[in-house]
Structure 1
Amino acid sequence: MTQEGKLTRRTFLQGTAALGAMAALSGCASQEALKPSSAGEAGVASGEVEVRHAWCQMCGPARTHCSTLCYIKDGRWTNVEGNPEAGNNWGRGSRSLCAKGNAAMAVLYAPGRILYPMKRVGEKGEGKFERCSWDEAMDAIASKLLEQKEQYGAKSYGVLSPQFYAVLGTMGRRFLNVHGSPNYMHSAICNSQRMFSRLVTIGGPKHAQATDTAPGQLGKTKLLVVWGYNSENSAINQGNPYARLNAIEKGLKVIDIRPMQDGLASKADIWVPVRPGTDGALAMAILSVIIGEDLYDHDFVENWCNGFDKLAEHMKQYTPEWASPITGIPVEQIYEIARLMGTVKPMGINIGNGIGDQQNDGHWTVACACLIEAITGNLGIAGGGSAGMVAPPSLVKTKGIDVLSDRLPKSKEDEEKGYMAGVADLVGPETPRWFQTMETQESGPTTAYYKGLMSILTEDPYPLRCIFGQSSNPLSATRSPKKVEEALKKLDFYVVMDTQWNSSCDYADYVLPACTNYESSYQFGTKNSAAGTFVAINQKIAEPMGESRSDWEYYLDLAVRMGYGEDFWNGDMDACLREQLDGSGITLEELRAANKGIFVERTDGAKPTEPVYQDYAKMFASLPNGKVQCYNEWIGNKPNCDDTGEISPLPVYHGPAESIAGTPDIAKEYPLIISDVHAYRLCNHSYYVDVPYLRELQPYPWVKINPSTAKQYGIEDGDWVKIESRHGWVKMVARYLESIAPDVLMSRRGWWQPCEELDLPGYEHLDGGSEINVLYDAELKNFDPFNSAMSKQTLVKISKLEGGDE
């Protein structure tokens, strides 16, 4: 390739934007052209408009939550709406979509799309690439994987797991098992962390069916405790806000526990602005009050609690007076909410990401919340936790993709210690090796995302040599991007497949163009209800842009090139789909032809039924002694996930690595606490900041600050500010918010995408950029010892940034 053929990241992106080819391919050349069409059903009736079905991908790649109808006129996708057949949001008939769903067309036609396979020709991090063919890239990847398998063993290969990704959880896991590596690098910033804690405290048959504390019949609940749960951002079109507001109108009382009174928190009867990272102390104090004031259900405790006497004695020391200076919550308010939770029945608790996987005490915080609900007798009762109506069976029986777990070889150590295959070879176990079984894990053995990346630097117990990243930017998805950058520079071989050029691509050896779900027809989903069962497949809304390909196709192609073709339908994705549909009564051809999906109406008269209440023998069957683990015999006194100590059988509180109460010397110079929201309604983690409709609503990286605090530092609403911790600094725009504690700042991560159509920049991931992760302490000793949850709070100072964003 000549020098003229070499491309920096910037010139490459300019090249994609300059492709009026985009406009030619899509008929869409501007933001104006993306505005919804008014043709709608009338256009469909006249034949001027075609409607096609797609599962919305805007809450995550390959999700099948919201079914949409996409309207196409003159070859261009002009409008999208919720599919009334599917039962989104409030049920059948709903056409609603959230802001992200309504902006989906902009993702397909984004000017920053990666269109061609690219090969690095400069140093890692330099951003110099040249275009290559798919064959060249795939042959190089297959060759490298086979070479490293021979030289270092299959375990030297790992994959980055973004927010749950159906492609990776099925096809990617299958590839790992056939190849022989256990290193599925799960984020440890996910629902799984909460599931692990619920599983070992209040039971459940397996990971995906852990007993829930959330009320399954909200209309019968008298008190709802919303704890670190952000559903107005994370589940805005999936029914939760709608159901809660309806229940509030009918008398539901709500306690909302989180640092910032955002969205639905404003509808709560009591808002508890707990300091970020200290929820564990609050939960322990609430337990202490409920037990100490004899507010618990004696019959339940006597018959269904393991080690309650040990818990009761242990909790005496964790009073509201102890917790108040830690949490920033007045002693009187802690007593108030504890007494409400101990006396109002039925009571249910929504446990969110904010406490389950965003704190280094994540496990015990969730476990204590579970124990609060359990000992007050609120499990398995109408309106309480884990007591939802039982839907009639699905009328369409489909099969999942077999991940071929039996193909992952067992090592000698696996055999000797009784581990699940592959566990001994994990480079950085997400949960303790002894805990990882097919019942407790999502789909097999897991390494923690950040720990796997750090193995490249530490080489302990061995370094990963090749990593594949799909729909995940490791410089934003986890903590300490400075260390992540070091690891990517040192990594032998890094491959990225994505729709957009994320900031980690500069360190890749090959960057592959992924098509969106709107450009392929390789995934279907079902939604079952009392009225019947809805099933639909993604239909192609447009042909793949440039040379982009589906992530599903990538795995099939790679498997065939590596000699694994027989285990991957010899590269035929349609054969995989037919296998999943076998016995369902619906053919692949019928699915693809159904432009609104297929609804199979229930004619058998079956209706939702109430569960068997208080069926505790079944509910707790998976737990030691068949009882709720007040004193945890399942995990207590056993090695932690890093084999550096043992897990306590009783609740313990460590607190954030840096906090006002825990590290007062640091707080003298850095007096404010900062944290970030896990989900936000105008983006999907760090993606979609480039979408004009969404970016114009939040044009600049923001930090919410109490006006009284801001004025102490001479900061006006809208000022650019400098936020510094002991670990790095970022620049953001101050946004006044009265309903946030004076010593707390709240922001969100992920600002690497520019929005060219609004002439708004992307921001770097290191010091001086706007990636909040650069502020956090990411020492492995501060991770949760059971589930690898990591804190997203630290101490900072703030000042007005002279010169603004210059």
Structure 2
Amino acid sequence: MGDLAKLAALGRAGAACGMDAGGLLVPLGAGGPIAPLGAGRGGGASAAAVDPTAPVREVRHAWCQMCGPAKTNCSTLCTLENGRWTRVEGNPNALNNGRHGTCSLCAKGNAAPQILYDPHRILYPMRRVGAKGEGRFVRCTWDEALAAIAARLGSLCDQYGPACYGVLSPQAYPVLRTVGRRFLNVIGSPNYLHSGICALQRRASKTVTIGGAVCPPAQLDKTRLLVVWGANPENSAVNQGAVRDRLDALAGGTTVVDIRPLMDPLASKADIWLPVRPGTDGALALAFLHVIIGEGLYDRAFVEEWCLGFDKLADHVRTFPPEWAAPITGIAADDIRRVARMMGTMAPMGILYGNGIGDQAVDGHWACASICLIEAITGNLDVPGGGGAPVPPGKPLVRVAPIDALTERLPFSDEDRANGWCAGVSALVAPETPRWYQSPATWESGPNSAYFRALMGVANDEPGHLRAVLGQASNPFGATRQPARVAEALRKLDLYVVHDTRWNPSCDFADFVLPACTHYECSQQIGTKNGPEGTFVAVTQALAAPMGESRSDWDLYLGLAGALGLGADFWEGDMDACLREQLAGSGLTLEELRAAPAGVFVERPADARPPEPARCDYARLFASLPEGKVQCANAWIGGRVDNRDEEPLGCLPVYVGPPEGLAETPDLARDYPLVLSDVHAYRLCNHSYYTDTPALHALQPTPWVKINPATAARYGIADGDWVRVESPHGCVRLVAEYFEGVAPDVLMTRRGWWRATTPDDAAERARFAWQSDSSVLYDTDERRFDRFHSAMAKQTLVRIARWEEGDDDE
């Protein structure tokens, strides 16, 4: 399609939207780099001037999936030459990188074509013929696989009830929380198995402490002090504006305190770096509160009007001075006191805290709650430059309806009604948060069970355990803890189905392995981005036909629903009908979106952009909280039963500490004298995905562990040596990387190394000690998990030595 044709097509879309009064429809790419080779510009070249031997070049739109399947964080322009994807770049007009927009992509995004053309793709449906774990399969057809899965699932649901079916959540996965959740609701199961090591944990703690409406720090150009605590946007959101905003704030004079064990790139630019010992953030937060409250550095007017139980909190934190926290956290008492005073006196202050805090520590809830209370009592909520004060983007100019999850189809039990719970909550096999907490106001898409605890229910033959599990875009050996224990559960399942693009180790335990296409091989994902400048909407345009017999994540659910006789609830297997349902009332048609090579942007007139609202709107922010106030002594959760249905929760922050720690378990520390933790998100992979994508693997070819050179010298370890790292729970093989930006008593690695070091042979894959993933090192005593939101420890004590020949024979 030439430039004029593109412009005409987009003009028709604008007419259909009726946007001549409310906004200007901008034809993205017209006259720009996305025009086919040889297309005229400004009047155009004649046909005779076109080189007939030149490649046929076309540009299509796709949402990048390299931060997770079906996510719509970054819009990309994908160049095809003679039908083959050869180039990818960011869409400069799609609000990718904050308000400015660039053509940039991160390393993962730039490597995307390699996952489409990966020679190791699963291409055909397969049925297991050997014992679970042997990896012996024969090819079958999709019809055979779906019929057999449906028959087995139907039989299990008849025998044990629909709640015997659960689905593994790899992360915040748009397919699962929409069509996947709809499937759960229609068959009657609440058992969406959430990982317990993701942002949902952090959000739950914030919701019950300062309310769900408070957002991370915004308007950093107005922030005087930014405290970055356990967050690493240079790894997890490198192309989504956070890095640029931080650097701009630094250039503008913002003071930055960075609190995390590893000095990643942005930490090196901070004014103060506090290398907190992994798993001890709760102790540090309590010490900060001790100083801020004890020295009167809080906002008295705010506390008197908007805080509940402040006096109880003040009495409580008197017992946690910096001198108490110093030997626990590894940070000097004077440094703790200095930073606490900065937090109490430098305003506006914002605290950006991430997955390294509450999501991955056994006392993560109270660590998160304490951080929220620091920001609240210092008067830094809903002020420009503080927490909860973004510039409003304005109402979307194009409205795309969400996929209806049919939540009303999930049935109530008598127990649900008797306790005032939401439908299905009584049937959760391992409630991630307490049953009483799970409601439409607090969940992502519906009720959740905890991933690891639910699988352990199978391994331990607990009453009412799961019988059937779907693993979609999720490797349970890398997504949670202790793969050998996970294998026990997979062996005992009556039905385990994997749908993925590549073979992961759990496939050896599956009854059926089904080939998934990437989201670059289908056109089934609509996404929008809304900002003050306007609204962008686009659909992924297929860049290739599905490889082999692969099917999309969406089509898997539609096909399985059809095999179960539920096609009427799933658009009779037609995903386009679902897309049209989403676009109804938007003013756009599916055909118009698919014809727009770079999406559609509706510009907001300058005089229609929303003004910055009045701030300190505490009645709105705290409306969901008891008495409409910040919960210094938590009346929402205090005294109510925990997520194990066993004990009442407390109302004041407590420090539990890691299951194994230098201060917490000194006897164990004599044999295991170092602390190990891992980076949850990393810029060159997505958990265990993409570790062996050639372009990314070349940048990190070996599974590293960062070690302080002084520590390495004590153990005779040279930079680049293969080392043995052993905890009380397991052993891994890693490569030592000297790095002074980690404390001498701490080692840091990255999760998700599995595929880079796993043999091809199934028997070798079963020897879980042979791999390099930190998941084998951590404690999995479920009694230690966070009693509010199920967070697990991602730190342990270890010993380290050079890897010697024969170590892999143990």
TM surpasses 0.5: yes
Does the 8 Å CA contact 1:86/1:92 hold for their aligned counterparts? Answer: no
Tell whether 2:713 aligns with 1:711. Answer: yes
CA contact (8 A) 2:34 2:58 kept: no
Alpha-carbon deviation of 1:782?
1.2
Aligned equivalent of 2:5: none
Aligned counterpart, 1:273: 275
CA distance in 2, matches of 1:120, 1:386: 51
The match for 2:66 is 58
The aligned residue for residue 78 of structure 1 is 86
Instruction: Tell me the distance in 1 between the aligned counterparts of 2:420 and 2:252.
Output: 53
Name 2:496's counterpart in structure 1: 494
Equivalent residue, structure 2, for 1:16: none
| 1:756-775 correspondence runs (5 A) | 766-775=768-777
Equivalence map 1:406-445=2 (5 Å)? 406-445=408-447
Deviation at 1:763, TM superposition (A): 7.9
Q: Does structure 1 retain, via aligned residues, the 8 Å contact 2:705–2:748?
A: yes
Secondary structure of 2:753 counterpart: coil
Distance across 2 between alignment mates of 1:609 and 1:358: 38
| Residue pairs, 1:218-237, within 5 angstroms | 218-237=220-239
Hey, what does 1:170 align to over in structure 2?
A: 178
Cα offset, 1:805, TM superposition: 9.0
How far apart are 1:393 and its partner, in Å? 1.1
Whole-angstrom CA distance in 2 between matches of 1:434 and 1:296: 33
Counterparts in 2 of 1:45-124, with a 5 A limit?
A: 45=39, 48-124=56-132
**Aligned partner letter, 2:72:** T
Alignment correspondent of 1:26 = none
1:798 aligns with 2:800: yes
Contact 2:223/2:349 (<8 A) preserved: yes
Residue 191 of structure 1 corresponds to 199
8 A contact 1:690–1:755 mirrored in 2: no
Q: How does 1:235-246 map to 2 (within 5 A)?
A: 235-246=237-248
Paired with 2:111 and 2:172, the residues of 1 have a C-alpha distance of: 22
> Is 1:403–2:405 an aligned residue pair?
yes
Within the candidate set 622, 630, 636, 2:624 is matched to 622
Classify 1:248/1:92 alpha carbon distance in 2 versus 1 (closer, same or farther; 3 Å).
Answer: closer
Normalised TM-score (structure 1): 0.92
Alignment partner of 2:667 out of 657, 665, 668: 665
Give the Cα–Cα distance (whole angstroms) in 1 for the partners of residues 613 and 290 of structure 2.
Answer: 31
Residues 260 and 746, structure 1, Cα contact 8 Å, conserved in 2: yes
Amino acid corresponding to residue 737 of structure 2 in structure 1:
R
Separation in 2, partners of 1:358, 1:735: 24
Select the residue among 579, 596, 599 that pairs with 2:598: 596
1:693 match: 695
Letter in 2 for 1:122: G
In structure 1, what residue type is equivalent to 2:115?
V
- After TM superposition, the structure 1 stretch with the greater mean CA deviation from structure 2, 470-479 or 611-620, is 611-620
Distance in 2, matches of 1:601 and 1:223, equals 34
| Residue 380 of structure 2: aligned partner | 378
Q: Go from structure 1 to structure 2 and tell me whether the alpha carbon gap of 1:763 and 1:85 turns closer, same or farther (over 3 Å shift).
A: farther
Cα shift readout 1:123-160 (whole Å, capped 9, x = no counterpart): 10001111110001000111111101111110100000
Question: Within 2, Cα distance between the matches of 1:387 and 1:90?
Answer: 16
Match of 2:786 in 1: 784
Shift in Å, 1:189:
1.0
Paired residue for 2:137?
129
The answer on 1:341 being equivalent to 2:343 is: yes
Is the partner of 2:601 in helix, strand or coil?
strand
Distance across 2 between alignment mates of 1:629 and 1:241: 32
Matched-pair contact (CA < 8 Å) for 2:36–2:58: no
Q: 1:751 Cα deviation (Å)?
A: 2.2
Q: Distance in 2 between matches of 1:283 and 1:460?
A: 37
Q: TM-score normalized by structure 2?
A: 0.92
Deviation of residue 778 (structure 1)? 0.7
Judge conservation of contact 1:221–1:382 (CA < 8 Å) in 2.
yes
Checking the alignment, whether the CA contact within 8 Å between 2:394 and 2:609 is kept in structure 1 is: yes
| Contact 1:282–1:327, Cα closer than 8 Å, also in 2 | yes
In structure 1, what is the Cα distance between the partners aligned to 2:299 and 2:714?
48
Instruction: For residue 391 of structure 1, report the CA deviation from its aligned partner.
Output: 1.3
| Contact kept? 1:193, 1:787, Cα under 8 Å | yes
Q: Which amino acid aligns with 2:163?
A: K
Q: 2 CA distance for matches of 1:805 and 1:90? A: 49
After TM superposition, which residue ranges in structure 1, 4 or more long, deviate above 4 angstroms? 39-42, 762-765
- Corresponding letter in the other structure for 1:100: K
Aligned equivalent of 1:739: 741
- Displacement of 1:280 in angstroms is 0.3
- Cα distance 1:765–1:741, how it changes in 2: closer, same or farther (>3 A)? farther
Distance verdict in 2 for CA 1:705–1:390, change over 3 Å: same
Aligned residue type for 2:214: T
Q: State the partner residue of 2:611.
A: 609
Q: SS where residue 435 of structure 1 aligns?
A: coil
RMSD: 1.8
CA contact (8 A) 2:303 2:377 kept: yes
CA contact (8 A) 2:36 2:59 kept: no
Separation in 2 of the partners of 1:605 and 1:338? 43
Given that residues 202 and 359 in structure 2 are in contact (C-alpha distance below 8 angstroms), is that contact kept between their aligned partners in structure 1? Answer: yes
Unpaired segments ≥5 residues, structure 1: 1-38, 205-209, 757-761
Residue aligning to 1:211:
214
Residues 708 and 764 from structure 1, CA distance in 2 versus in 1: closer, same or farther, beyond 3 angstroms? farther
**Does the Cα contact within 8 Å between 1:689 and 1:755 map onto a contact in 2?**
no
Determine if the alignment matches structure 1 residue 522 to structure 2 residue 524.
yes
Matches of 1:727 and 1:530, distance apart in 2: 51
- Name the CA shift for 1:144/1:671 in 2 (closer, same or farther; >3 Å): same
Q: Offset of 1:112 from its aligned partner?
A: 1.0
Tell me by how many angstroms 1:292 deviates: 0.3
Q: Distance in 2 between matches of 1:178 and 1:248?
A: 51
Q: Verify the 8 A CA contact 1:171 1:555 in the aligned structure 2.
A: yes
Match of 2:151 among 143, 148, 173: 143
Tell me the SS of whatever aligns to 1:255: strand
Task: Quote the offset at 1:221 in angstroms.
Answer: 0.3
Counterpart of 2:77 in structure 1: which amino acid?
A: L
- Which position in structure 2 is the counterpart of 1:584? 586
Counterparts of 2:766 and 2:511 in 1: how far apart (Å)?
21
Asked if 2 retains the 8 angstrom alpha-carbon contact of 1:185 and 1:447, the reply is yes
Equivalents in 1 of 2:613, 2:807: separation in Å? 57
1:525-550: CA deviation from partner (whole Å, max 9, x where unpaired): 01112222111000010000000000
Q: Which residue number in structure 2 is paired with residue 17 of structure 1?
A: none
* Partner amino acid, structure 1, of 2:60: R
SS in 1 for 2:416: helix
Alignment-mate amino acid for residue 620 of structure 1: F
CA distance in 2, matches of 1:744, 1:345: 33
**1:322 equivalent in structure 2:** 324
Q: Secondary structure at the match of 1:398?
A: coil
What is the one-letter code of the residue matched to 1:57? Q
Report sequence identity in percent.
62
TM-superposition CA deviations, 1:366-413 (whole Å, max 9, x none):
100000000000001111100111112111011101111110111111
2: distance between equivalents of 1:124 and 1:190?
29
Q: SS at the partner of 2:166?
A: strand
Distance (whole Å) between structure 2 residues aligned to residue 734 and residue 710 of structure 1: 8
Q: CA deviation at 1:460?
A: 2.6
After superposition, residues 440-519 of structure 1 pair within 5 angstroms as 440-519=442-521
Which SS does the other structure have where 1:339 is aligned?
Answer: helix
After TM superposition, the structure 1 = structure 2 runs for residues 240-259 of structure 1, keeping only pairs within 5 Å, are 240-259=242-261
Counterpart in 1 of 2:29? Answer: none
Pair 414,386 (structure 1): closer, same or farther in 2 beyond 3 Å: same
**Aligned partners of 2:232, 2:384: CA distance in 1, in Å?**
24
Q: In the comparison of the two structures, how many residue pairs are matched? A: 760
Residue 804 of structure 1: how far off its partner (Å): 9.0
1:601 partner amino acid: E
After superposition, the C-alpha distances for 1:265-317 in whole angstroms (9 at most, x for unaligned) are 00100000000000000000000100000000000000000000000000000
Q: 1:549 to 1:372 in 2, by over 3 A?
A: same
> Retained in 1: the 8 A contact 2:107–2:696?
yes
Question: Partner of 2:770: helix, strand, or coil?
Answer: coil
Aligned partner of 1:352 among 351, 354, 359? 354
1:349 alignment partner AA: I
